[in-house]
A and B are shown apart, each in its own frame.
Chain A
Amino acid sequence: MENSATLVQELQNGNEKAFEALFELYKVKAVRTAYLLTGSRILADDIAQEAFVQCFLKIHTLKDPCQFKTWFFKCLTRIAWKMANKEKAATPVENIFEMADTNECGEIEKDFLKKEFSADIMKIINTLDEKQKTTILLYYYNEFSISEIAAVMGCFEGTVKSRLHTARKNLKKELDQKEAYLKEGLNNAVIYKF
């Protein structure tokens, strides 16, 4: 995404091919971020599409092409919040049993427990309020800096740090409990492996 500034300038100058290049650069992260924000596969596509449409139509309003990434994700998160509130999308629960792909009884169980662990993290993240959850996603998944997150969310850097701290604290507390459970589960798997 480092050369997006050049593409943005080209698009602002009327080169619509530059938009297709920007789309290719950002499409995966856009859809996946939208999915993480809403938990809905269908909404994720709608959100990403709307973000790209608005990006194209309003590209002339972006004063500094180097800020495209935060500008785009600011647009995307706004759309995601709006659509998620409208749809009240339920968090999908993955069928963990479908993800197991070994025949080994113990491996299946170990895999199951590890993936359930990640699923539990997601469940905890999905219980956070909208702003904390967005902060977590932008920080850990999108790897935005504090200042970038502040630009995306339209708040002060101090607010971002505060939300991040609170969210991490809540996550860690829940994670520690789940990790203890996981260890117990793995130990049981060892006992029952033939």
Chain B
Amino acid sequence: MRSFTNFDEKIKKALTQEVDDISPSDHMLSNIQKQITDRKEDNNMKIKSVKHSKGIMVACAILVLTTATCFAASKIASISGSIDKKLDTFPTTKQMETTAGFTPKYVEEFSNGYKFEVVFAGTLDANDADENKVSEIKTADFTYEKDGAEFYIEAMQKPKNASIPDMEGELVTLTNGQNVYYHDWMHKFKPADYVMTEQDKIDQANGTYEFAFGEDLDFIQHCQVVEWEENNIRYSVFCYDDNLTKADMVKISEEVINKN
């Protein structure tokens, strides 16, 4: 126990007397628990919205990262814009055309029980190094949900006057002869102000991790994607929580392809 001088004791006494009748409110713990629950839901929503747009982020990252080697007609240096038109009831073809500006194939419910939850659509600008728009990319981002688990299907209308990177990964041939590509990677999400370590840079260079930065992000995720193209549309099925296996994702792609 610290020994105080008389002077110190007076200060301590004054402070103690000042708060002598201050007590936590009876409801403080329940208030705290409610706030924790609310924040967790908010964080889940943030992560959902990050994941939700992750398909776009990842696709855009792939587009941007491979710009130098893949683009024929125009060099695309960046992607800008937002996917902010939302439909949270299963859209008709007409609604899809009006909202997204194109009509991809899409399913209301899959045989594995996942159901349509929401679709975000919009048009992204593809820009050159001088920030001049060289093309547009129309995209529709579908979310499917079952028992709290989700996966996403991104449908991207291939841009005019520019090419997008080739699909990569393991080639899988479906029963109808269509080819799809599967690949997976580990993605590290870090806070916006995170400074990459030397190990991070090595991991990024050798493909151990892809990196993304954003507010309140700090986790590692296994990302899987199955891709194919049909009628000038690039389709990508994304899964981030390992709630689907490769086989599940290939089956999903088959059901979309077979949709009339």
- The residue from A20, A27, A31, A118 contacting B14, defined by CB atoms under 8 A apart: A118
What's the minimum C-beta distance from A56 to chain B, rounded to whole angstroms? 5
Q: How far is the CA of A48 from the CA of B13 in the complex (A)?
A: 23
At the interface, yes or no: B175 with Cβ under 8 Å from chain A? no
Count A-B pairs with CB separation below 8 Å: 79
Sorting the interface of chain A by its residue count into under 10, 10 to 19, 20 to 34 or 35 or more gives 35 or more
Sorting the interface of chain B by its residue count into under 10, 10 to 19, 20 to 34 or 35 or more gives 20 to 34
At the interface, yes or no: B149 with Cβ under 8 Å from chain A? no
What's the minimum C-beta distance from A61 to chain B, rounded to whole angstroms? 9
* In the complex, chain A residues 58-108 whose Cβ is within 8 Å of any chain B Cβ: none
Tell me whether A31 and B22 are in contact (CB under 8 A). yes
Q: How far is the CA of A36 from the CA of B23 in the complex (A)?
A: 13
Residues of A contacting B199 with CB < 8 Å? none
Q: A23-B29, A31-B24, A48-B24 are in contact. Are A122 and B18 (CB under 8 A)?
A: yes
Q: How far is the CA of A88 from the CA of B165 in the complex (A)?
A: 56
Residues of A contacting B18 with CB < 8 Å? 35-36, 118, 122
Residues of B contacting A50 with CB < 8 Å? 35
User: What are 12 A-B contacts with C-beta separation under 8 Å?
Assistant: A36-B15, A45-B25, A48-B24, A49-B28, A49-B31, A52-B32, A57-B40, A118-B10, A118-B14, A137-B15, A140-B8, A140-B12
Residues of A whose CB lies within 8 Å of any CB of B are 20, 23, 27-28, 30-32, 35-36, 41, 44-45, 48-50, 52-53, 56-57, 115, 117-119, 121-122, 125, 136-137, 140-141, 143, 168, 171-172, 175
